[in-house]
Amino acid sequence: MKILVTGGAGFIGSHVVDTFLAAGHSVVIVDNLSSGRERNLNPGARFYKIDIRDPKLIEVLEAEKPDIIDHHAAQIDVRKSVTDPIFDAQINILGTLNLIDAACKTGVRKFIYISSGGAAYGEPLYLPCDEKHPIDPLSPYGVTKHTMEHYLFLYEKIYGLDYSVLRYANVYGPRQDPYGEAGVVAIFTGQMLSDKPVTIFGSGKQERDFVYVKDCARANLMVAEKEHRGIFNIGCGVGSNINQIFSTLKTITGYPKEANYAPAKAGETFKIYLDNRLAAKELGWKPTVSLEEGLRQTVDYFLQNEK
């Protein structure tokens, strides 16, 4: 199959590209390199430097005629979405809509959409959150990511566009940028290896479902190769608190300092982890990398590439 991956120079998208290519698929990358890195580009894929909001995006689809679009390009910074919700919506809603519309006009067979389990569900009514949990986001980012699930439902009904949604938990691992739109693992790792102060916002008792990036990439391959339509949580099903992440990374890196604490940031859920049983049942997917092993692999990558 030919698969077009948006955001294919980014942290998660580049691992997805690698996984598709390793499985023998043809891959096209669309990325504007605003947060993605050229060094993440797999030379086995054809690359187009273009923004998903660009009206000329349809020309790429007309030229390449992909069977599947795997959509990872997004504004992913929760805090930025709070301070600049218009910019967040321009990319995550209007940009994605531009891509979906172009997909329908060019005969794309399937659309794989990356949504957010961590941000869309809001503060959970029960744990772990399954796919039927009410949607009650606490940030514009969560709102925009979920909004496009409704558009995909509509485009399937009107135009017959097949789609699947992967609702990621908190993804971490190699290639995550410690200086950009990073998650806590990348930020802590970068600061510890540079012997800089580490700040935990809030009490550190807030819990997240940390899922390793290569496990997420494997979920994309399973959705692409199986004729399953649906919405799937992609997470480990357990919560780990931020103090635990700090402590484990402190041990792995040999970091000598204690954490500083600052007030919690607006728009962030206190405790959430995802029920992944539907992905296990329908896709045969389950996480394979433990948190400690994933953190060690992340630190190893940073030691070789980020210092």
Pairing state between β 207-208 and 240-241: antiparallel
- The pTM of the whole model exceeds 0.85: yes
Phi first, then psi, for residue 156 (nearest 5°) are -70, -45
| Tens digits of residue pLDDT in 222-244 | 999 987 789 999 999 999 999 99
Element spanning 46, H or E: strand 46-49
Active site residue 141: yes
Location of structure tokens 């930020």: 187
The gap from C-alpha 298 to its chain's centroid, in whole angstroms, comes to 16
pLDDT less than 50: residues of the chain: none
- Measured over the CA atoms of residue 281, residue 25, residue 76 and residue 253, the dihedral's sign is positive
pLDDT of residue 223: 97
| Tens digits of residue pLDDT in 96-120 | 999 999 999 999 999 999 999 988 9
Catalytic residue among 113, 121, 141, 168: 141
Considering only CA atoms, give the Rg of the chain: 18
For the chain, domain boundaries: 2-172+210-235, 184-206+239-274+291-305
Location of structure tokens 């997240």: 208
CATH code assigned to 184-206+239-274+291-305: 3.90.25.10
Q: How far is CA 1 from CA 23, 25, 52, 231, 281, in A?
A: 10, 5, 22, 22, 24
pLDDT of residue 226: 86
Fold: same for 2-172+210-235 and 184-206+239-274+291-305: no
Topology of the domain comprising 2-172+210-235: Rossmann fold (3.40.50)
Rounded distance, CA 102 to CA 267, Å? 32
